[in-house]
């Protein structure tokens, strides 16, 4: 089996004295692990950083076997963010969530595009946290657990949608949700329209929303917690007064 595909590095670990095992999200083939000969070398270290964009050439004798890959770096990758620790934390969290949520060797082009959009936004400090929330919502969508924010799940109304049902993932309007406020999740306006500005508390509400459904529908069924890098990101955003 052989293919060539655009990819992002999700993680890498040393394997043997000089090699590495890399976890990739590819554009057309989904998430793949591969052995990288010489992956422990100083030359390869920047290429194997979480979030690095690469062109991957993958080869395996049989489909079920762990194959090998050659990686060609594309662009600056995480090196462009070294002066922005918060953006690096966002990239690390996105890589960890993607690696934990996606099954191996199953095409998920939507997840790749969501990761690509987030990666491209990290140079914009004021907007990327909102893109991170949309990235996680896109990941849920690609896995078949998309939120339905088009209308109120209780009344069918399309206006004044300010809550989300934690059970169904459907939007709830103000009037229908009033008796159940303590049970409902807050729906930040920027998830309804890209034209909506960010208000205080919106990022925190958005991260709480996507975390709930990632845990309920993806990580809990796999008996896994949300990745530590994701919790660390929330802490860093809180410290920076960005929630």
- pLDDT tens digits for 198-224? 999 999 999 999 999 999 999 999 999
Q: Range of 210's domain?
A: 83-149+187-239
User: pLDDT (tens digit, 9 = 90+) per residue, 65-99?
Assistant: 888 999 999 988 898 898 999 999 999 999 999 99
Half-sphere exposure of 197 (CA within 13 A, CB side): 2
| pLDDT value, residue 73 | 93
Query: Are both 97 and 70 inside the same structural domain?
Result: no
Q: Is residue 165 part of a domain?
A: no
Instruction: Look at residues 43, 78, 113 and tell me which one is the last residue of a structural domain.
Output: 78
> Which residues in the chain land under pLDDT 50?
none
Containing H/E element for 32?
A: strand 30-36
Q: Which DSSP symbol is given to 49? A: S
Whether residues 119 and 219 share a domain: the answer is yes
Do 207 and 99 sit in the same domain of this protein? yes
Q: Are residues 134 and 197 in the same domain?
A: yes
Provide the whole-model pTM.
Answer: 0.94
pLDDT of residue 80: 86
Residue 86 is predicted with a pLDDT of 96
Residues 192 and 122 in one domain: yes
Query: How far apart are the two ends of the chain, measured CA to CA in Å?
Result: 45
Q: Is residue 107 part of a domain?
A: yes
- Asked whether residue 210 falls in the same domain as residue 119, the answer is yes
Res 92: pLDDT: 96
Q: Residues 51, 89: one domain?
A: no
Contacts with 71 (C-beta within 8 Å, 6 or more apart), sequence order: 7, 9, 22, 36, 44, 47, 48, 54, 55, 56, 57
- Split into its structural domains, the chain has a count of 2
Any alpha helices (H) in 42-191, and if so which ranges? 85-101, 109-121, 128-142, 174-177
């Amino acid at each position: 089996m052989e293919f060539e595909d655009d990819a992002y590095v999700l993680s890498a670990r040393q394997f043997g004295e000089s090699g590495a095992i890399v976890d990739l999200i590819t554009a057309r083939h989904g998430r793949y692990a591969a052995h990288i000969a010489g992956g422990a070398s100083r030359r390869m270290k920047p290429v194997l950083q979480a979030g690095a964009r690469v062109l991957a050439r993958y080869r395996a004798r049989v489909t079920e076997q762990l194959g090998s890959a050659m990686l060609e770096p594309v662009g600056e990758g995480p090196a462009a963010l070294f002066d922005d620790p918060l953006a690096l934390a966002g990239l690390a969290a996105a890589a960890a969530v993607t690696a934990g949520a996606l099954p191996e060797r199953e095409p998920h082009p939507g997840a790749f595009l969501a990761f690509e959009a987030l990666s491209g936004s990290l140079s914009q400090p004021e907007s990327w946290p909102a893109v991170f929330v949309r990235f996680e919502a896109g990941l849920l969508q690609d896995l078949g657990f998309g939120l339905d924010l088009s209308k109120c799940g209780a009344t069918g109304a399309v206006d004044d949608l300010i809550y989300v049902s934690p059970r169904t993932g459907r939007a709830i309007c103000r009037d229908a949700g009033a008796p159940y406020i303590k049970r409902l999740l807050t729906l930040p306006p920027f998830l309804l329209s890209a034209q909506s500005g960010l208000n205080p508390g919106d990022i925190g509400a958005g991260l709480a929303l996507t975390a709930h459904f990632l845990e309920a529908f993806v990580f809990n069924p796999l008996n896994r917690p949300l990745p530590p890098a994701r919790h660390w990101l929330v802490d860093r955003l809180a410290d920076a007064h960005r929630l």
